[in-house]
Structure 1
């Protein structure tokens, strides 16, 4: 029982170490003008854990760097959708 408890404590303490910075590209096809990327960038920047955002109107995409312990791709796509610009992970 002590070994199990010790293992659980170790996992709880080490879990934050497993978190990593990720960079993903989101397709944002609904951007129709040069001002749209500003709105998309603001929406993504407000998501906790996002450290960098580059939005391209020409490519209709957003490249986002974030801490995967604080947020997820689903949260990013929700943020763009809530701002009026549905997006999806570009593969």
Structure 2
């Protein structure tokens, strides 16, 4: 009985990250000034744990990022772009679009 309770507890503990939600946000990245800048921004964002997809638009100076909210946050995403030399701010999230 104790063994099955322990196994159930461990399973529940390690399954918690699976209960998170996928979010999509749009970051305003005004510092992109050349066609090569989006590559740097995309690389920085893809290195953040939990990021699933990144689409960067040079023309609109923005990055659309899909991520697991249990693994990262908007703050970590904006820190990643800032550390790469491209400060960003939250422009829009998937919750705003509904």
TM-score (norm 2): 0.76
Runs ≥4 in structure 1, deviation > 3 angstroms? 12-18
Unaligned runs of 5+ in 2: 1-8, 93-98
> May I ask how many residue pairs the two structures share in their alignment?
81
Match of 1:87 in 2: 88
Alpha-carbon distance between aligned partners in 1 of 2:89 and 2:19, rounded to the nearest angstrom: 25
CA-CA distance at 1:17 after TM superposition: 4.9
Alpha-carbon distance between aligned partners in 1 of 2:34 and 2:62, rounded to the nearest angstrom: 13
Q: Deviations over 1:18-58 (max 9, x none)?
A: 41000000000000000000000000000000010000000
Unaligned runs of 5+ in 1: 1-8
TM-score (norm 1): 0.82
Q: Do structure 1's residue 65 and structure 2's residue 79 form an aligned pair?
A: no
Match of 2:76 in 1: 75
